[in-house]
Structure formats: structure tokens, C-alpha cells
Structure 1
């Protein structure tokens, strides 16, 4: 059990306090999963820290967002429960609100941008919500939701910039510090800032000396810009789409500025690596935002080495095709999967002799691609790309050395 609360001036002027978070925990108890906080020996060995993982991807809708959504729904008055609620979301907030709204008999309307993947629309409708598709961007969907709020007399539930949402998300920290009181550092993903705001209030009050680190995707440094007074661009296709927020909350920014020690940015490559490691080592599937904490430990090892670090696996809703791409790219970067470009003469037996070297080196050939036309080689020359599977980088190096000893010009087709 965490130590008794120590009053902190840091939380004095904030609209959510530890009692609010504890009240939220009592409200939602039994209706959301009390997810485990488990020590990872392998990740600890890998990072030089002691690492605990909070498995919020094990919630029914596979994300922590249920906590704040349910805490908000349970505090609605009778009129609001009868009329229903509305939100703008294309992700985990929509599903959490839809699921618990249906369970409580509260009508839920979700406004999503028209380009939202159909699977997300179907998942949200599957939880009982009415989905309205409007606009090409989240901002357009959000504006329309606020219009419908007034027109239909609905209660608007913001995905992050709302005290009841923040208090609900803070219950994650209560559970983590109860299960692993030795944690002295929390690495928390930031999108709009609701999770780190709630966790920050709880953790900072229970354990004033704790270090709070916020993590954002390098392509969407909105909260980083706010607290660091920077002006980095917020755009691009990020793996961490759940935390790809262009404008941080005004309310949550106050919490971050008051409570958080630092905000770090992580690259797409480290997000991919972290996601792959969690699947391989912990046998757990996370979305890009859920991998952000581990990605930060890989990007900035010196910030975490020797510390007792708690990481929130905030969600597990990732498209299966995207997951497959990430895993294959990680295999390629580790040398276990490669595409080799080999220059051959266009004559009988040329490919046989190359394949023989692959056989001798015990390398499995997956695909072969010939290119005779779109090449700068003479007409009797050709380029062959061979996709192959090796044991590791050293095995791949041995294959390339053997091909060169056989007289072949060979290079690797590199990943971005």
C-alpha cells in the first residue's frame, strides 16, 4: 500500500485532488478491470532500470479511457442520463463511452471524421452508440459535436479536458502505487493530457518525491511545445495515433505545468521497436501510444537507468495489418529478414548458382524478384532481389560475404 497522503502545494490550485481520484476509484470499482501491474525482468535487464508494466490494454475495450468515461457517466443527473451524451472521438474514448453508456442505459452519440477507418466505426456502433460521420478532420467533427450538443440537449463528454475524466484516469496511478509502492518514476503517454493529469495528481500527492515523465510522439509534440515554449510542427503519420493531438487541453496543460518533471519526445522508429519488444517479450499487444513509455526508455536510457519505473500500456487497439508491418520491419532491422539486391548475368543456371550459396549458408529464401527492363545494366544483365530469412545479423553478414566470394555484386535494400 502506498504511503499516506502528504499535502502538496503543487496540487492546491488544481480542480482535481486526490480525494476526487479516490472517489472515482470507488465509483468505477467492479465495472472496469483492475488491471495488473507486473514486474518485467527481461525489460529491466534490457534497459538497466527496474520496470513495472500496467496492463491497461486488458480493459474490456482495450484502453484506460473507460475509467474517465465511466466516472463521468455515473455523475450525470437524471435529465442528462435520459437525454444522453455526445463526444467527438475516433478512438478509445468513443468505445469506452459507448460501452459503459450502453451498460448504464444512457444514449451515446459519437461524432467521427468521415475518413475514420470503418473498423473503428463498427466497433463503436457495436458497443451501442449512434455514430455521426462529419467533416474531414477531428476539428470539424468536434465543432459539429458541440453544435449537436446544443441542438439536441445532450451532455458533452470531452476526451481529456474535463475534471471528471481526469479524476477517472488518475485511478491508474492509485492501483500502480498500491501494487508496486517501490516505483519512483512514472513514464506516461500524453495526447490531450488527461491520463498524465489524473495520474500526476494521485502520484504527486501520495509520493511527492516521485518523478513524472510525459511522453509524446515526435510528430505530435503539442504538450511539449506548450510547456517548453517551443514551436515544433504537429503533423504526419504516426504509429501512436491515439496520442496524435494537435492542441493540448487548456485544463490539462495546467496540470502538466504544475506536476510533471519533463516531457520527452520519441521517434517513430523507437515506437516500433518498443511495440515489437512488448509483443515478443511480454506477449502483449499494444497500440503505438501504449508503447510510448518503453520507447522513451529506449530513446533516453540515461534518464531511467537505475530507477524503479512504472510504464502504462495505455491501450491495445491497433490495426492487425499495421501490427504485421511493424513486426516485419523490426525483423528486418534486426537482420532476421532482409532483401538482397544481386547483379546477375541473364543466362541459364545463373539463379541456380546463387540459390546454391543460400542453401550452403542455411538461409531460407522467401521471395525472388527479377528486373530486366528498368535497370541501367546492359541488356544481358539483370537485377535480382531476394527476400530471405536469417538467424540474426551475423548470419546475414556471413551470407553476404559468401555471395561476394562467389563473385556476385550484392547490397542490402535498406528500410527507411
Structure 2
């Protein structure tokens, strides 16, 4: 391991004036929920929407003129792609990025918009990596690795400098782990400045390759799995990053897909912060009670905010259903003028928002005089939903909850 704290400080000088110093926000709500003082380091507010610009820009600064003339190539699930494209264009360097076919279109289009040529291949990052190496062998472009490179690691470590300058009393930093570049840089810098600070990594449970590697004592490769946290869906950690993780990281925990989705939803609703799956895993670990440290001040890294609007919509719909704030139920009504209107007025008077109503004839089961009406409503809480159902039953309606 060659990196020192001075390398991270030099990286900060290299990226100064280009990379933003992102906000460090205290959350009273999540602090009450967790029992810790919870702070968010908002790399979702970074240029390109994620922390990756720090490492990518620092890497391209270090390239020679001859290397820049050859152009650069990278493989990425999306955020590194944007960082490389932005940095390369800033230096007038041609860039090519290989991304998964499953990459969110928001990331693909943004990468193209920053000036890179995008090639889509494979389902997960590791398949893109192989394709990018094949292309590099043909065109001799400089490969800009998303995590397994010490210039990249040093750039990501600048986050720790910002955190400890603003919150020197931080007791722990909770960091997403994909290939390990982010946590390696943060851990190195933070531990050199404050040796007793705890650095805890978080991985998606279905592709926790770094955790598995630490448990075995050597790098292992897991089967590819597509997590909601696509930015950290990495089957094999880097050999360089693995050494820094072994030396500096205190623990690695995992979170489920449901816990990630809930954290994304909570960040939007409570803190008004848009996070992608990888960016939400630190909060997911805190809310699922998987973080256990001495001390009170915990910093959760929101590593990025590049998430498709369509995915946000799915998460919101799903979470509202799971929380019983959106419910479907069926009511049998007499098929007479005014019956449906009266029921709609009843539901509205109870404070529900009616999203959808569908009426179907029920001739086979109940004869010609009855119809089934299906409602989808939104409420303030699970208790509010139950109150509406119980009130309708008390008024004589036959109500069956669908979900």
C-alpha cells in the first residue's frame, strides 16, 4: 500500500475548483429513530450526481500528455462513467465507457451528455470490465478503473477530509461498498486523522463480495446479482482496495433489497433527498439496527442520487402498499342510481384520496341488482386506513380488503 494522508490532501488540491464540497446535514428525525446523532454526507449533491467525479478527475490530472492523447476507457455501472466523461471532456480527452445493458437510462444519457462514447454490454459491472479490457487491447486507451487504482482511491478519500474538518467529533462513518474504492479512501484518510473513528462498510446482501472475501481471508468472486443498489453490485473486490479495507475498515454489514427500498423512500419523504440504491444503504443499515458503535455521531455517506424516475415511482408505490398507506378493497353495492356516488362521498369525508375506482357487474354471484366496486385509496397512515375500513363496515357496507 503506497497511499498516505498526504496523497489524499494532494488529491484535494488537484480537484479544487471543480469538485464541490458537498453538504453535511444533521437529521433530527433519523437521529430519534436510531438513537445516534445521524448526519448525511450528501454526495448526491455532487457534480454528475455522485462522488465518483472526485476519483476520476484526480486520475486524469495525473495522466501524462502522451496518455491523454491516447484517450481513456472505463467500465462502470453508471456513476464512474459520468465522472470519467466529465473529467475527460474537461481536459479535452476522448473517452469511452462500457456500461451494463441494465444501467439506469438516466446514467446512460448523462454519460453521453458529458461527452463519452457509451457501449452497453452485460448485466453487471464485472461483465463490462471484461469488455472494456478487450477494447483497450485494440485501441491502447488508458484504462481508468472505477475503484482498483490508488489515484482513484485518493480522490474518494477527500470526502473524509471534508467530514472531519466540519465534524471533528464524528465517531463513525458508514460507507457503501462496491469494489471498495470509496471506503478505502475514506478509511485511510479518516483513520490517519482520527485513529479511533470507526469505519463501517455496507453491502447489498445478495452480492456482498467484500464481506465474503474478508470472512475467507482472500478475494472471492460471487455469482452476479442485480441489486437495487446497482452502483455496488460488484462480484469481485479489487486486490488493491482489499488491502486498504483489511487494514482500515472495522466492520462490514449487509442490507436486504427491502431495506434499501425503504431507505430510499424515507430519504425522499423525510429528508427530501433523492438517493439511488447504493446511496441509501448506509441509512438502511442504521434503520435496520445493524450499526453498533460506542459514541453518538454517525455520518452516513449518500454516495449518489442518479436513479431513474420510473424506479422512484415503483419504490413509492410499493412502499405505500407495504405501509398500508395505499390500500385496495372491494365493496358490494346495489346497482342503483346514487349508491356509488354516496359511497365515494363517504370515503372522501373520511380523509382518503381516491386514486382509482372500478365497477364490475356481479350478476352470476349476486343477481342483477348488485355490482362489485374496487377502490384504490391513499391515506395518512396504516391506522387511518384501518379506521376507514372499520367505519365503512359500521355503516353497513360489505368490505373485502384486497391488499
TM-score, normalised with respect to structure 2: 0.90
Does residue 186 of the first structure (1) align with residue 158 of the second (2)?
Answer: no
- Distance in 2 (CA, whole Å) between partners of 1:324 and 1:232 is 33
> Which ranges in structure 2 are unaligned for 5 or more consecutive residues?
none
Q: Pick closer, same or farther for the CA change 1:377–1:218 going to 2, 3 Å.
A: farther
- Distance in 2 (CA, whole Å) between partners of 1:413 and 1:177 is 51
Q: 1:296 Cα shift?
A: 0.7
Counterparts of residues 50-199 of structure 1 (less than 5 Å): 50-135=37-122, 138-199=125-186
Alignment partner, residue 348 of structure 1? 336
Map Cα deviations across residues 267-297 of structure 1 (whole Å, 9 max, x no partner): 2222222222222232221111111111111
Alignment partner, residue 243 of structure 1? 232
Q: 1:302 Cα shift?
A: 6.2
Q: Are the aligned partners of 1:331 and 1:337 in contact in 2 as well (CA < 8 Å)?
A: yes
Q: Are the aligned partners of 2:50 and 2:304 in contact in 1 as well (CA < 8 Å)?
A: yes
Alignment partner, residue 212 of structure 1? 199
Greater alpha carbon shift after TM alignment, 252-261 vs 233-242: 233-242
Q: Are the aligned partners of 2:325 and 2:379 in contact in 1 as well (CA < 8 Å)?
A: yes
Q: Are the aligned partners of 1:108 and 1:129 in contact in 2 as well (CA < 8 Å)?
A: yes
- Distance in 1 (CA, whole Å) between partners of 2:74 and 2:402 is 45
- Distance in 2 (CA, whole Å) between partners of 1:402 and 1:79 is 76
Q: Are the aligned partners of 1:221 and 1:234 in contact in 2 as well (CA < 8 Å)?
A: no
SS state at 1:388 partner = strand
- Distance in 1 (CA, whole Å) between partners of 2:67 and 2:375 is 62
Q: Pick closer, same or farther for the CA change 1:334–1:399 going to 2, 3 Å.
A: same
Q: 1:241 Cα shift?
A: 1.1
- Distance in 1 (CA, whole Å) between partners of 2:301 and 2:123 is 31
SS state at 2:130 partner = helix
Which of 264, 274, 286 matches 2:275? Answer: 286
> Which ranges in structure 1 are unaligned for 5 or more consecutive residues?
1-13
Map Cα deviations across residues 323-374 of structure 1 (whole Å, 9 max, x no partner): 12222333333343222x225256335534543531442323220134558x
Alignment partner, residue 15 of structure 1? 2
Counterparts of residues 397-416 of structure 1 (less than 5 Å): 397-414=386-403
Q: Pick closer, same or farther for the CA change 1:281–1:98 going to 2, 3 Å.
A: same
Q: Pick closer, same or farther for the CA change 1:206–1:412 going to 2, 3 Å.
A: farther
Q: Are the aligned partners of 1:109 and 1:130 in contact in 2 as well (CA < 8 Å)?
A: yes
Counterparts of residues 298-317 of structure 1 (less than 5 Å): 298-300=287-289, 303=292, 307-317=296-306
Q: Are the aligned partners of 1:89 and 1:110 in contact in 2 as well (CA < 8 Å)?
A: yes
SS state at 1:286 partner = coil
Q: 1:21 Cα shift?
A: 1.2
TM-score, normalised with respect to structure 1: 0.88
Alignment partner, residue 6 of structure 1? none
Does residue 323 of the first structure (1) align with residue 312 of the second (2)?
Answer: yes
Q: Are the aligned partners of 2:77 and 2:230 in contact in 1 as well (CA < 8 Å)?
A: no
Q: Are the aligned partners of 1:124 and 1:131 in contact in 2 as well (CA < 8 Å)?
A: yes
Q: 1:43 Cα shift?
A: 2.2
Alignment partner, residue 275 of structure 1? 264
SS state at 1:303 partner = coil
Name the Cα RMSD after superposition: 2.6
Q: 1:56 Cα shift?
A: 0.9
Does residue 222 of the first structure (1) align with residue 209 of the second (2)?
Answer: yes
The total of aligned residue pairs comes to 399
Q: Pick closer, same or farther for the CA change 1:113–1:189 going to 2, 3 Å.
A: closer
Q: 1:248 Cα shift?
A: 1.6
Q: Pick closer, same or farther for the CA change 1:402–1:141 going to 2, 3 Å.
A: same
Q: Pick closer, same or farther for the CA change 1:47–1:134 going to 2, 3 Å.
A: closer
Q: 1:192 Cα shift?
A: 0.9
SS state at 2:62 partner = coil
